[in-house]
Amino acid sequence: MKKFLKYTAYLVAAVILIAVAVASYITLALPNVGQPENIKVDATPQRIERGKYLANNVTLCMDCHSTRDWTKYAGPMVAGTDGSGGEKFTAADGFPGSVEVPNLTPYHLSSWTDGELFRAITTGVKKDGSAIFPLMPWPYYSKMDREDVYSIIAYIRSLKSIKTDQAASKLDFPLNILVHTMPQKASLGKLPDEKDTLKYGGYLVASAACMECHSPVDKGKILPGMEFAGGREFVVPGQGTVRSTNITTDKVTGIGNWTKEQFVKQFKQYADSTRKPVNVGPAQFQSVMPWYRYGALKVSDLEAMFAYIQTIKAVKNKVTKFTPMETKD
């Protein structure tokens, strides 16, 4: 019996040592995507303008890296907070830890090289070599055209410097270790010709990470075969749980019966300058979809996106769009 206990103790100790060794390797040696490139982005007016369009209306960098007013429907961006960071994700949102989205203005990024910014956007690795949790959808940005990423960098450099500081991210165990394994080397793509409607629409849909939000997930992974089928849950503190829409071509539970005109109108209604954001009270329906940002997409871009979405296989998945939080009487 004593020998059994002795060998058991040795085995447990060995397992612990192996676990510590693996954890140490992961946290010290990873991520490993290579050094940042030695590049200097020429901030031409054309690049800044293109980057402004992408960062505000396609990749939505400004949506997360600014303050949104969640007392209004769809959380419109608070004027004057462009790139200052501050959106928070905590346990109250169903997030495994806490993340305060960082400042993107020159106040925070002036010490970053263009190569470091490029690496962060396309591989998910910060200036200090640590991993960026894919709450920022860098896996999608990693497939963008190099020139488009350059344009985003040029635009970010042009932002007004705003002095704000955010707390360091804290992820729950074991995610705080696994996050180091997530960054990957970029596999950049090419911007298709706009005349190639399907490829161009697919590029925009991928760059906007539509699939990421419009797919159900389990432990952070999209369920195979359920891409674009909706149902991903987002907790909105004070309101309840909202779920993304099924945007596959299923005619019953998706948007298979929508016309191109209906699709475009759904977005462009939020570009109406006379439209006033609607107040949202406790337990009332809210949307995390940044309609006001997407509302400024060009009509031709929306049409291309719709054309691509029409090629996605139909998946029957009825989604309960909103479950209000329980309120006390």
DSSP3 helix / strand / coil % (the chain, rounded to 5): 40, 10, 50
Indicate the helix (H) or strand (E) that contains 100.
strand 97-100
Q: Distance between CA 86 and CA 285 in Å, rounded?
A: 23
pTM beyond cutoff 0.75:
yes
Nearest 10 degrees: CA dihedral of 193, 297, 221, 188? 30
Nearest 10 degrees: CA dihedral of 296, 220, 201, 191? 100
State the burial class of residue 26 (Cβ atoms within 10 Å of its Cβ: 0-12, 13-18, 19+).
middle
pLDDT at 273: 79
What is the Cα Rg of the chain in Å? 22
Coil/strand/helix, residue 322: strand
Angle between the N-to-C axes of helices 260-268 and 299-309, in degrees from 0 to 180, rounded to the nearest 10: 130
pLDDT at 67: 93
Domain ranges across the chain: 1-29, 41-191, 194-329
pLDDT at 93: 80
What count of other Cβ atoms lies within 10 Å of the Cβ of residue 85? 22
pLDDT at 327: 63
Type of residue at 268: K
What count of other Cβ atoms lies within 10 Å of the Cβ of residue 298? 14
Per-residue pLDDT of the chain in tens (329 residues, 90 and over written 9) = 555 444 444 444 444 444 444 444 455 454 779 999 999 999 999 999 999 999 999 999 999 999 999 999 999 999 999 999 978 888 888 888 999 999 999 999 999 999 999 999 999 999 999 999 888 999 999 999 999 999 999 999 999 999 999 998 899 998 889 899 999 999 999 999 999 999 999 999 999 999 999 999 998 899 999 999 999 999 988 889 999 999 999 999 999 999 999 999 999 999 987 888 899 988 899 999 999 999 999 999 999 999 999 999 999 999 999 999 876 55
Indicate the helix (H) or strand (E) that contains 108.
helix 106-109
Q: Is the omega angle on the peptide bond into residue 174 within 30 degrees of 0, that is, cis?
A: yes
pLDDT at 243: 97
